[in-house]
């Protein structure tokens, strides 16, 4: 129901935005804006442009939070859109704002009494800028803090840039909005906060079934850029993207306003979205599940099962005994993958039908018996334990807090794992040297080099004593910076070097691994790759 009568009765045109005034649930029209009132105990009132769908004012508990002149919007703003608003009476009362362009429909919904803007975005084509994101641009003096990673993405008061226009120096430390990212599988809430009563504004994404990249993909969550504090939901981007973008409905996702700390995704119920007439929404009754048991995961590593096709993606952690039950999934045939942590050890397929639960076990065979002469690192799909692997997610490789990159020499049996570099940069620490003793000449052997991400065509080439292995072909190109943005997950190439008999000898042996590429670049933007594990075996 519109608020015109109530507003006239109170004698103000937009006084619902005045501090201390409790609003009444509903919407009204004022000039070029629709004004939406959630009717909540902690009043949330926001204004949406009728011409372009921008949120251009957000008042929570009487405090204006919206940064101006820019708005809160999809992408960098839709430019123009057909915007409508309606009230829906179902299990609760809802106000739904619908913004339509030729290839995109964006929804904003409030539920009576709830200080939350629920959203969903339906697309039939990727935006021309190549990324689909929601960005709330908020006032930094009201919401200066960031959760969960604090200052790592606060670029206010920067004194210089390290790389492009998105890595900055602040108080001698490198910071970037990219360093706020969290793996999809770990996503809960990411928030900005501040003020004497610790207002929190949090983005929650109950699922990312229409995004791309799988359970371990990471993208920008927030940053305080000085002029504005920015809070994001990245749905698609070109940031180390490993698979095509998915069309269809992205969401529901939500922006919640509170004073009670950090909300949790597991507490969010959006099943009522089925009452709203949202394009592409598939209710629980139209979905199915997969159950089963996973085996073959190396002891001490986590089992993760991942399902994906051109339309959707899902994942779940396995129980300690390998049992799993998938989220509710859209009907279709899916690739089914088993990881140990992030390292792929099995693939299969499964077909999901609406209203049905299908059982499908999956078994990894990677950890079969072989005679390992030595191994550096573990096959977990991450550079775990290697030098600077504990830092690079939240800082640039040039940061003064980083340990020296080398070139390094690692001696099997005596060097700590941190003496092996997590990444090999062609212009910085190339090559890495491995020294090891063998009690006798083993004959022919295999050197396996597992990597997680390549930049600019970089791949490893090995020299064993006086013998040089073949140059492997270039890996699949990912047109994005990686480790300098805190990213490590790509296609996960594995390179095997077949070492002939007579090359390895009894006593001391030396292997050098070099980064080779047909491209070039300076320092940390030179061709590089990230290590997962290195193993010599028979």
Q: Can you give the pTM of this predicted structure?
A: 0.92
> What is the structure's pLDDT at 164?
80
Residue 11 has pLDDT above 70, yes or no: no
pLDDT in tens, 88-136: 999 999 999 999 999 999 999 999 999 999 999 999 999 888 899 999 9
- Sheet with 167-170: strands ordered across: 160-163, 167-170, 173-175
Domain formed by 4-275, architecture? Distorted Sandwich (2.70)
> What is the structure's pLDDT at 16?
36
Residue 264, both tokens: 């949790």
Looking at the chain, the domain(s) classified CATH 2.60.120.260 span 372-537
- The CATH class given to the 372-537 domain equals mainly beta
Looking at the chain, the domain(s) classified CATH 2.70.98.10 span 4-275
Kindly write down the DSSP assignment for every residue of 430-465, as one continuous string.
--EEEEEEESS---SEEEEEEEEEEETT-EEEEEET
Alpha-carbon gap, residue 297 to 324, rounded angstroms? 13
Residue 62 per-residue DSSP state: T
* Homologous superfamily (CATH) for 284-363: Carboxypeptidase-like, regulatory domain (2.60.40.1120)
Residue 528 has pLDDT above 60, yes or no: yes
| Range in 104-113, 125-134, 181-190, 455-464 the model is least confident about | 125-134
pLDDT interval class at 261 (50, 70, 90): confident
Alpha-carbon gap, residue 264 to 268, rounded angstroms? 7
Residue the block writes with tokens 């949202």: 278
> What is the structure's pLDDT at 484?
96
Arithmetic mean of pLDDT over the chain: 94
pLDDT in tens, 275-294: 999 999 999 999 999 999 99
Kindly write down the DSSP assignment for every residue of 64-81, as one continuous string.
E-B-SSS-BEETT--SS-
Cross-strand bridge partners of residue 372: 537
Higher pLDDT: 357 or 2? It is 357
**433, 409 Cβ separation under 8 angstroms:** yes
pLDDT in tens, 33-63: 999 999 999 999 999 999 999 999 999 999 9
* Residue partners of 24: CB distance under 8 A and separation at least 6: 3, 6, 37, 39
> What is the structure's pLDDT at 125?
95
pLDDT interval class at 23 (50, 70, 90): low
Residue 15 has pLDDT above 50, yes or no: no
């Amino acid at each position: 129901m519109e608020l015109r009568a109530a507003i006239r009765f109170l004698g103000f045109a937009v006084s619902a935005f005045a501090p201390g005034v409790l609003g009444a649930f509903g919407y009204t029209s004022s000039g070029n804006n629709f004004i939406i009132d959630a009717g909540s105990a902690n009043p949330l009132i926001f204004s949406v442009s009728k011409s372009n769908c921008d949120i251009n004012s957000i008042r929570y508990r009487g405090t204006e939070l919206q940064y101006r002149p820019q708005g809160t919007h999809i992408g960098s703003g839709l430019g123009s859109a057909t915007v409508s608003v309606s009230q829906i009476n179902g299990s609760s009362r809802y106000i739904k704002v619908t913004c339509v362009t030729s290839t995109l429909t964006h929804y904003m919904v409030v539920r009576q009494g709830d200080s939350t803007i629920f959203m969903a975005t339906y697309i039939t084509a990727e935006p021309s800028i190549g990324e689909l994101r929601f960005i709330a641009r908020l006032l930094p003096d009201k919401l200066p803090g960031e959760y969960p990673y604090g200052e790592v993405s606060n670029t206010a008061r920067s004194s210089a840039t390290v790389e492009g226009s998105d890595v900055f120096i602040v108080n001698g430390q490198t910071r970037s909005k990219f360093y706020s990212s969290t793996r999809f599988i770990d996503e809960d809430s990411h928030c900005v906060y501040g003020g004497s009563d610790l207002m929190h504004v949090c983005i929650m994404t109950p699922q990312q079934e229409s995004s791309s990249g799988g359970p371990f993909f990471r993208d920008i969550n927030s940053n305080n850029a000085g002029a504005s504090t920015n809070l994001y939901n990245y749905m698609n981007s070109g940031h180390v993207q490993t698979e095509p973008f998915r069309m269809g409905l992205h969401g529901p996702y939500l922006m919640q306003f509170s004073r009670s700390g950090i909300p949790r995704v597991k507490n969010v119920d959006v099943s009522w979205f089925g009452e709203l007439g949202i394009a592409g929404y598939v209710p629980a009754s139209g979905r199915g599940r997969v159950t089963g048991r996973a085996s073959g995961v190396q002891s001490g590593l986590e089992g993760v099962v991942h399902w994906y096709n051109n339309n959707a993606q899902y994942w779940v952690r396995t129980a300690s005994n390998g049992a799993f039950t998938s989220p509710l999934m859209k009907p279709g045939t899916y690739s089914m993958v088993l990881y140990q942590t992030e390292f792929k050890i099995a693939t299969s397929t499964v077909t999901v039908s609406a209203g049905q639960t299908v059982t499908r076990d999956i078994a990894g065979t990677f950890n079969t018996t072989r005679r390992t002469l030595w191994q550096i690192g573990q096959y977990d799909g991450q550079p775990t334990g290697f030098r600077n692997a504990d830092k690079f997610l939240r800082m640039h490789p040039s940061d003064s807090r980083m340990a020296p990159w080398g070139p390094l020499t690692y001696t099997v049996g005596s060097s700590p794992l941190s003496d092996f570099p997590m990444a090999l940069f062609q212009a910085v620490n190339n090559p890495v040297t491995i020294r090891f003793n063998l009690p006798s000449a083993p004959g022919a052997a295999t050197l396996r080099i597992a990597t997680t991400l390549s930049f600019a065509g970089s791949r490893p080439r090995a020299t064993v004593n006086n013998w040089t292995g073949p140059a492997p072909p270039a890996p699949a190109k990912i047109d994005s910076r990686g480790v300098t943005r805190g990213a490590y997950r790509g296609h996960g190439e594995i390179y095997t070097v077949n070492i002939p008999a007579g090359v390895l000898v009894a006593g001391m042996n030396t292997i050098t691994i070099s980064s080779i590429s047909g491209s070039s670049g300076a320092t940390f933007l030179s061709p590089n790759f990230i290590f997962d594990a290195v193993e010599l075996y028979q």
